[in-house]
């Protein structure tokens, strides 16, 4: 008799009973899944190795966690990136120009130094080339050979045509 009364009472709330039953099934499935996902000892016997997830699953989880970005925000970021790249490019060009100028300056300085050193040094013209054969190797290595046109240009600063 009691059982019938209980059934009659619940007959009025049949819809809510259905949902309670459905909710209990979901909870039971959740608990079963949790128990299945409890990590035990791996088959390989190497406890430091973890079960890897598929990359697509990770990507989906990662995308879901990220905030949604509007089209305007994306375009704004793109424009800012372009501006930064332009600035970086201009700075690189400026640096390259400075290095080029410094290189040219050092080359001209080196040339001028050689010319000035040659002007300040004492020298003598060897007219008899047979003397060179009798000189030691050290002396021969110190001798600078140059054509007469260049010699007059360095010493007197003017070209002399032969």
The 10s digit of each residue's pLDDT in 93-141 is 999 999 999 999 999 999 889 878 877 777 777 888 888 889 899 988 8
Task: Centre a 10 Å sphere on the Cβ of residue 153 and count the other Cβ atoms it contains.
Answer: 15
19/10 Cα distance (integer angstroms): 13
**Average pLDDT of the segment spanning 83-89:** 96
Element (DSSP H or E) covering residue 155: helix 148-156
**pLDDT at res. 4:** 44
Share of the chain above pLDDT 70, in %: 72
Contact 159, 152 (CB under 8 A): yes
pLDDT at 83 over 70: yes
- Going by the DSSP 8-state scheme, the letter that residue 51 receives in this structure is P
116/122 Cα distance (integer angstroms): 12
**pLDDT at res. 65:** 76
More confident: 154 or 113: 113
Rounded to the nearest integer, the mean pLDDT of the chain is 77
pLDDT at 155 over 90: no
More confident: 143 or 95: 95
**Average pLDDT of the segment spanning 9-37:** 62
Burial 3-29 (b: 16+ CB within 10 A, else e): eeeeeeeeeeeeeeeeeeeeeeeeeee
Element (DSSP H or E) covering residue 48: none
């Amino acid at each position: 008799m009691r059982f019938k009364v209980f059934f009659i009472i619940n007959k009025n709330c049949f819809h809510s009973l259905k949902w309670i039953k459905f909710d209990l099934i979901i909870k039971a499935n959740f608990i079963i899944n949790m128990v299945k996902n409890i990590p035990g000892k791996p088959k390989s016997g190497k406890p430091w190795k973890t079960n890897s997830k598929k990359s697509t699953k990770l990507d989906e989880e990662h995308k879901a966690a990220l905030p949604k970005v509007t089209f305007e925000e994306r375009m704004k970021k793109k424009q800012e990136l372009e501006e930064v790249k332009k600035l970086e490019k201009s700075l690189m060009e400026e640096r390259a120009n400075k290095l080029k100028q410094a290189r040219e300056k050092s080359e001209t300085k080196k040339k001028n130094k050689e010319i000035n050193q040659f002007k300040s040094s004492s020298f003598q013209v060897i007219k008899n080339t047979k003397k060179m054969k009798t000189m030691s190797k050290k002396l021969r290595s110190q001798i600078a050979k140059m054509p007469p046109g260049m010699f007059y240009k360095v010493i007197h600063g003017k070209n002399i045509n032969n």
